[in-house]
Amino acid sequence: MNHKIKSTQNISKNCLVCGIDNEFGLKTRFHETEENEVIALFRPQEFHQSYPNITHGGISAALLDEVIGRAIMSFYDANTFGVTIELNVKYKKPVPYGIELKAIGRITKDGGRIFEGTGEIYLPDGSLAVTAHGKYMKRKVEQIADEAFVDNEWFGRDDFPDEISI
């Protein structure tokens, strides 16, 4: 399925999932679709493994936690985030490392301060590897991090694809 991209989301320097300066991070990029979903593009590395040639399940959970928590930005703004209350993950297939993978997250219920969402990680052949459902509390980035983080480590990018296929 092709998803038209309307924008890309902010990233940071040191986050495990999106941090560009975290040498052990996933360096994930997050793109908002016209349907207000968020697609994550990431490439786990060998140091993210559990068993040989398989990404650790905790890494998959962290990625899904992030993509669902970020889906709320599609409805509000770049500084509205989700803080995890609960996350349920189901592993369906092993997730390899060393190749680009895609995940997608969406909001399924927005109840004001609390929202819920779902997400999936897809393998390059389009098959479903991991699913998740989470419950989050809406927070402004300024409520989570100090002003120095917001000013120096939370920044946008203008480069994004017109379309992503999953």
Model confidence over 22-74: pLDDT tens digits? 999 999 999 999 999 999 999 999 999 999 999 999 999 999 999 999 999 99
Which residues fall within 8 angstroms of residue 41, CB to CB, at 6 or more apart?
28, 29, 31, 100, 101, 102, 164
Give the position of tokens 């409805």: 75
Strands, sheet with 38-42, edge to edge from the N-terminal-most edge strand:
80-91, 128-140, 114-122, 101-110, 38-42, 29-33, 2-8, 163-165
Q: Is the pLDDT of residue 158 over 80?
A: no
Q: Is the pLDDT of residue 157 over 90?
A: no
- Of residues 135 and 162, more confidently modeled: 135
> What is the pLDDT, as a whole number, of residue 152?
79
Q: Quote the tokens at residue 91.
A: 């592993």
Give the burial string for 103-130 (b: 16+ CB within 10 Å, else e).
bbbbbeeeeeeebbbbbbbbbeeeeebb
Q: Report yes or no on whether pTM surpasses 0.75.
A: yes
Give the burial string for 49-71 (b: 16+ CB within 10 Å, else e).
beeeebbbeebbbbbbbbbbbbb
Q: Is the pLDDT of residue 78 over 90?
A: no
> What is the pLDDT, as a whole number, of residue 125?
96
Q: Is the pLDDT of residue 94 over 90?
A: yes
Burial of 150 (0-12, 13-18, 19+ CB in 10 A): middle
Banded model confidence at residue 156, pLDDT cuts 50, 70, 90: confident
Banded model confidence at residue 165, pLDDT cuts 50, 70, 90: very high
How far is Cα 126 from Cα 131, in angstroms, rounded to an integer?
A: 14
Tell me which residue of 135, 155, 166 sits closest to 15, measured CA to CA.
155
